[in-house]
Structure 1
Amino acid sequence: MSSNLLQLKQAMRATWMAGDFGQIARYMAGEAEKFVERIGILPGMKLLDVACGTGNVAIPAARAGAQVAGIDIAPNLLEQARQRALAANLQVTFEEGDAEQLPYSDEHFDVVTSMFGAMFAPNPERVAAELARVCRRGGKIAMANWTPEGMTGQMFRLRDRYLTPPADIPVPVLWGDEDIVRDRLGAHGVHVETTRYAFTNELPFPPREVVHLFREYFGPTKTAFAKLDAAAQAAYAEDLERLWSEHNEDTTGKTKTKNEYLLVIGTRL
């Protein structure tokens, strides 16, 4: 690994360890359960959840009877996942690792999943190759990826107005483009079907507090604020609040938005 790539990996690890993503992930747990249901997991299946975070997919998959392993770049998130699995009396193996270098043998799993996770790795072609490599022939690769047009896509475009993204790294939300994800996985012998879903995100406080939640606990947002001076931080916070307010469907002092993602179901040929 080159020194530049190593620095990039270390920076990404630090980003996802910043804050406490578990405070964000709990508001997405219900959608993760729907994601698991749509995959069609059967008892005894061997399942790998890539970029598993705090276990939103791994835990319901284990509850459905799968033999589950989860891997993530951030050890603090893995510890939360372990504690959640322990509290639910479920056997799940969680380990630290890189979506671009999965430490498993070829065709080891029946199902390989990633929900809003592997899409953030810097080398998408390498990720696609690894997801396909560890999935058995006839097995499934299932991803949930934020679309460029959805709320998260808009949040990342807003961030890029304040901080210029690295020129040599593809935008993560391109994983939410049907043609691109089909090309990336198709290059490794995966037949891909896609469906767009609207995830209703309900938060029990107004948009201003939503911005505070993300600024305090969501690693990419927390890291972005830390790189800005005071004036830019104030402007960025105001723009984020405006974005959440414009999409808010609630009129009672809470926040309710729809966020689009692409469900990807691939079959390894």
Structure 2
Amino acid sequence: MPDLIRMENIIKNYGPVQALSGVDLSVGEKEIVGLLGDNGAGKSTLIKVLSGAVPISSGKIFVRGQEVTIKSTTDAIGHGIETIYQDSALVTQLSIARNLFLGREPYKGPAFLGRLDEEMMNAVASDLLRKVGISKNIPPTTPIGALSGGERQAVAIARAMHFDSDLIILDEPTNNLGVAETQGVLNFIRGARESGHSCIFIAHNIHHVFQVVDRIIVMRRGRVVADDIRPGNSTVEQVERVITGMDEHVPV
């Protein structure tokens, strides 16, 4: 069976600066992959390429063995790739429920009549908020602008949970989250495999990564320097040494 996602020899240049230098990366079906590296390692650039936020300079991307062209976020979503950035854009004036369904709103009767199914959106929103660990009774009609930073991030996580994507990319999803919200996100990642999803999990907190992933990939200076670290066979300290360049080898 081919990998769900395979990226080959990905190069991204910003003028004379090469942000990605021939990166190869793969994610299997129902696999949870941790993507680690110091600031400037190239993680965010690689994810932006895969999510269609920035174009590649050269290289190939395959989805289930078929080469695809990803030039926009719409292309990525069409190929089953959903990305949650640390600063996921939400419309502050709209409610939690409206943000969850933004661009994919359900209607009662013909769509041209414009009758949103607000009852369904509110019910789904309430259920999803509980799943991502928001224990407070926040009405789904609450405007995003009234939420804390952690609560807004949880709403972005909830949006990806509802729309079944093959690959969900989470870029620093636990930043600014409380303990309960963080556990909700980690539980979501753990459950993604069972529900048929694959995930790429980017985080600075290596302990969070070790709790949920099958495999760890480490980037440094625009290159992949390790791609098959197994949490069960290595330690946080060993991975930290690879990230910083103090060590090149970790038990796999």
Q: TM-score, normalised by structure 2?
A: 0.30
Q: TM-score, normalised by structure 1?
A: 0.29
Higher helix share: 1
